[in-house]
Protein backbone atom coordinates (compact mmCIF):
# COMPACT_ATOMS: atom_id res chain seq x y z
CA UNK A 1 0.00 0.00 0.00
CA UNK A 2 1.18 3.52 -0.74
CA UNK A 3 -0.35 6.92 -0.28
CA UNK A 4 0.07 10.56 -1.12
CA UNK A 5 -1.79 13.57 0.24
CA UNK A 6 -2.24 15.58 3.37
CA UNK A 7 -3.99 15.56 6.71
CA UNK A 8 -4.85 18.84 8.42
CA UNK A 9 -4.79 18.04 12.13
CA UNK A 10 -6.24 21.44 13.15
CA UNK A 11 -9.35 21.13 10.97
CA UNK A 12 -9.46 17.28 11.11
CA UNK A 13 -9.61 17.10 7.29
CA UNK A 14 -7.99 14.54 4.99
CA UNK A 15 -7.20 14.59 1.27
CA UNK A 16 -5.34 11.39 0.35
CA UNK A 17 -4.86 9.16 -2.66
CA UNK A 18 -4.17 5.59 -1.57
CA UNK A 19 -3.00 2.56 -3.53
CA UNK A 20 -4.50 -0.51 -1.85
CA UNK A 21 -3.28 -4.05 -2.52
CA UNK A 22 -6.04 -6.33 -1.24
CA UNK A 23 -4.48 -9.58 -2.49
CA UNK A 24 -1.25 -9.58 -0.47
CA UNK A 25 -1.13 -13.37 -0.05
CA UNK A 26 -1.55 -13.94 -3.78
CA UNK A 27 1.14 -11.32 -4.46
CA UNK A 28 3.55 -13.18 -2.15
CA UNK A 29 2.91 -16.44 -3.99
CA UNK A 30 3.44 -14.79 -7.39
CA UNK A 31 6.65 -13.13 -6.19
CA UNK A 32 8.02 -16.51 -5.06
CA UNK A 33 7.68 -18.05 -8.53
CA UNK A 34 10.77 -17.30 -10.68
CA UNK A 35 9.93 -15.35 -13.83
CA UNK A 36 6.28 -14.77 -12.93
CA UNK A 37 7.14 -11.73 -10.81
CA UNK A 38 8.89 -10.14 -13.80
CA UNK A 39 6.01 -10.95 -16.18
CA UNK A 40 3.33 -9.51 -13.89
CA UNK A 41 5.37 -6.58 -12.66
CA UNK A 42 5.63 -7.84 -9.08
CA UNK A 43 2.10 -7.02 -7.98
CA UNK A 44 -1.18 -8.58 -9.00
CA UNK A 45 -3.58 -5.77 -8.17
CA UNK A 46 -3.28 -2.28 -6.70
CA UNK A 47 -6.52 -0.34 -6.52
CA UNK A 48 -6.37 3.47 -6.40
CA UNK A 49 -8.72 5.03 -3.83
CA UNK A 50 -9.36 8.63 -2.72
CA UNK A 51 -10.08 9.58 0.91
CA UNK A 52 -11.43 13.09 1.51
CA UNK A 53 -13.36 14.95 4.18
CA UNK A 54 -13.49 14.70 7.95
CA UNK A 55 -11.07 12.27 9.62
CA UNK A 56 -13.86 10.70 11.68
CA UNK A 57 -15.99 9.92 8.61
CA UNK A 58 -13.97 10.29 5.37
CA UNK A 59 -15.53 9.74 1.98
CA UNK A 60 -13.78 6.86 0.18
CA UNK A 61 -14.08 6.58 -3.59
CA UNK A 62 -12.45 4.30 -6.14
CA UNK A 63 -10.38 5.96 -8.86
CA UNK A 64 -9.36 4.80 -12.31
CA UNK A 65 -5.64 3.97 -12.65
CA UNK A 66 -5.21 6.79 -15.16
CA UNK A 67 -6.54 9.32 -12.62
CA UNK A 68 -3.61 8.73 -10.26
CA UNK A 69 -0.75 7.87 -12.60
CA UNK A 70 0.66 11.37 -13.23
CA UNK A 71 0.25 12.81 -9.73
CA UNK A 72 0.85 9.76 -7.56
CA UNK A 73 4.27 8.78 -8.83
CA UNK A 74 5.95 12.21 -8.58
Contact 22, 1 (CB under 8 A): no
- 18-44, pLDDT tens digit by residue? 888 777 777 777 778 777 777 766 656
CA distance 34 to 51: 36
- pLDDT: which is higher, 10 or 44: 10
Q: How confident is the model over 3-8, as a mean pLDDT?
A: 90
pLDDT at 14: 95
Q: pLDDT digits over 37-64, tens only?
A: 777 666 566 788 999 999 999 999 988 8
Query: pLDDT at position 5, please?
Result: 92
* pTM (global) more than 0.75: no
Burial class (CB in 10 A: 0-12, 13-18, 19+), 54: exposed
Amino acid sequence: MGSRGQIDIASQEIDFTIMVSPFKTIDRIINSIPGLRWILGGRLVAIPMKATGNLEDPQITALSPSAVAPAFWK
